[in-house]
Structure 1
Amino acid sequence: MGQLLQRHIYLDLQTKLGQHNIDDKLNSTIPGVSHQQTGKRDTNFDIVVSKAEKYIAIEISFQETTNSTIERKAGQAKSRFENIDDLGHKIVYIIDGVGNFKRQAALTTIDGYSHLLLAFSNSELNRLHHFILNFLENENC
């Protein structure tokens, strides 16, 4: 289900942001963002949007049952946030599904280490579009 949601969000971004010359890629990386333990391997994100050397990583999790995906993302959240933020970029998490909401500690961690935390809905996707346009097209961000 998570892969379907990822694809849906990706296609939605292409449709709504395409006229702004914003690049978006599935399963992509951000220059200079690597696994901090080794620094040798680029960090992969579910979706990366960019324009003029400004990047936003988007991580997506949708779980109907509890599993370790949300815990893994929470465990990575601090180092990813610090690495991305230090480079002047942004990270967004889209989290939905009853399985994820049963993991309150993981959600709190992710919320603390993200520039924007959203659920999956049309109104939340509109917030995402606004956030992307504001950051990528504003010279002062």
Structure 2
Amino acid sequence: MNYRRTVEQLEQNAALSWPVELADEDAGAAVITELLKTQDEFISILNFPVRTVEEFLNILPSATMRPNLFLKHLVVLSDFSGENIKRTITNLRKYIPSGELQYEWDGQVRAYCFQSLFNANSGNIKKKIGIEGSTLFQNYELNEYIKELIVLLLVGSNALDEETSAWFAKCEICNYLGSKSKLEEYVKQRYIWVSTISKGTTSNSLGHAAQDFVAEFLEENISLDGVRVRKDGSLPGVTHYDPASGKETNFDLVVSRNNNYVGIEVSFQVTTNSVIQRKSREASASYTQVQQAGHKLAYVVDGAGNFERHQAIRLICENSDCSVAFTPSELMRLAEFITEFLG
């Protein structure tokens, strides 16, 4: 079987978004898992046609979603970090001096009066709203702190005051409420994986989780005796980073048996970054050395962000013995390739 792929074949078989199973691999990703599971319910709440923010707040008690979880969805969708929430509370009298936020919605000027956030302590606000860590999984009531933050995240960018509008620039979801097609398009463009909030807290841990997941999958699905799967391993004789030093190159995973080796690089990026570019630049030199040493080189590549770099993925596909995406059937294909070579 030919295990090499074109970039088009690879993308056709790709998952593109983080599987929930992968998020479950890391405890720090539990929040992301919860958001993934409840995204459709979140969108359904936003689909209610309302004319004022007060009307919207009135429908929330009838929703089955926890108020703090709904707020967390808004925080992520608006890319409004916990630090931004603290700064908002500290400077709220600067942004809303009178306590009344004037904003435009559906062509009309409206107003909302704030009370609780004016007297809130930015240092302990997280205890009041329950959107971080384990508190997200607790049942919070729709208290005034949560209500007023929901208002800011819904209509902040529509504030008549320019400075206030600029601070809440991404808080514009009110412009899409009740419009299913526009709302779904907006959420797809702006949801979890483009948010620096989730990206900053989970990209590293989920990156390691991806490697762990592949390693465990191979251990369970390669039936040969004496197979060893190592993270951050090296291949004898492969020193392409610095041939003069003789220091062997590290690969994300190395599978070996009876002095035969397969190096594996794993990359799952849902937002585009430079990692896949670096891997593609190294691919040709790495593949040449691996071939000369009698070993094999494979790649596990997935994520919408990676496939935005088509040329980089193409170079990787051309300089590998096996390239697969991050799905069970694709990883089984990798296991079969390794079994054939090491058997």
TM-score category (smaller protein): over 0.9
Q: Distance in 2 between matches of 1:97 and 1:67?
A: 11
Instruction: Name the SS for the 2:287 alignment partner.
Output: helix
Instruction: Name the SS for the 2:213 alignment partner.
Output: helix
Dislocated runs of 4+, deviation >3 Å: 36-39
Cα contact 2:301–2:325 (8 A) shared by 1: yes
Identity rate of aligned residues, in percent? 38
Residue 38 of structure 1 and its aligned partner are, at CA, apart by: 3.7
More helix by share: 2
Instruction: Name the SS for the 1:33 alignment partner.
Output: coil
Question: What residue identity is the alignment partner of 1:76?
Answer: E
Change (3 A) 1:54 1:19: closer
Task: Write out per-residue CA displacement over residues 54-83 of structure 1, whole angstroms, 9 at most, x where no aligned residue.
Answer: 100000001011100000000000000000
Aligned 1:54-73 pairs, distance under 5 A: 54-73=260-279
Q: Within the alignment, does 1:124 sit opposite 2:330 as a pair?
A: yes
Aligned 1:1-141 pairs, distance under 5 A: 1-17=206-222, 20-40=225-245, 41-137=247-343
Q: Distance in 2 between matches of 1:71 and 1:97?
A: 14
Q: Distance in 1 between matches of 2:332 and 2:222?
A: 11
Cα contact 2:240–2:289 (8 A) shared by 1: no
Question: What residue identity is the alignment partner of 2:329?
Answer: S
Q: Distance in 1 between matches of 2:213 and 2:286?
A: 24
Q: Mean alpha-carbon deviation: is it higher for 20-29 or for 76-85?
A: 20-29
TM-score normalised by structure 1 residue count: 0.92
Q: Distance in 2 between matches of 1:125 and 1:20?
A: 19
Cα contact 2:280–2:315 (8 A) shared by 1: yes
CA-atom RMSD in angstroms: 1.2
Task: Write out per-residue CA displacement over residues 10-66 of structure 1, whole angstroms, 9 at most, x where no aligned residue.
Answer: 111122226522111001101111135443221000000011111000000010111
Q: Please tell me whether Structure 1 or Structure 2 has the larger radius of gyration of its CA atoms.
A: 2
Question: What residue identity is the alignment partner of 2:318?
Answer: G
Question: What residue identity is the alignment partner of 2:221?
Answer: K
Q: Distance in 2 between matches of 1:70 and 1:15?
A: 27
Q: Distance in 1 between matches of 2:217 and 2:225?
A: 14
Question: What residue identity is the alignment partner of 1:78?
Answer: S
Q: Distance in 2 between matches of 1:36 and 1:9?
A: 25
Instruction: Name the SS for the 2:236 alignment partner.
Output: coil
Q: Distance in 2 between matches of 1:17 and 1:34?
A: 27
TM-score normalised by structure 2 residue count: 0.39
Cα contact 2:284–2:319 (8 A) shared by 1: yes
Q: Mean alpha-carbon deviation: is it higher for 35-44 or for 22-31?
A: 35-44
Change (3 A) 1:36 1:8: closer
Question: What residue identity is the alignment partner of 1:10?
Answer: A
Instruction: Name the SS for the 1:2 alignment partner.
Output: helix
Cα contact 2:224–2:339 (8 A) shared by 1: no
Instruction: Name the SS for the 2:208 alignment partner.
Output: helix
Structure 1 segments unaligned to the other structure (5+ residues):
none
Question: What residue identity is the alignment partner of 1:29?
Answer: S
Q: Distance in 2 between matches of 1:114 and 1:2?
A: 21
Question: What residue identity is the alignment partner of 1:67?
Answer: N
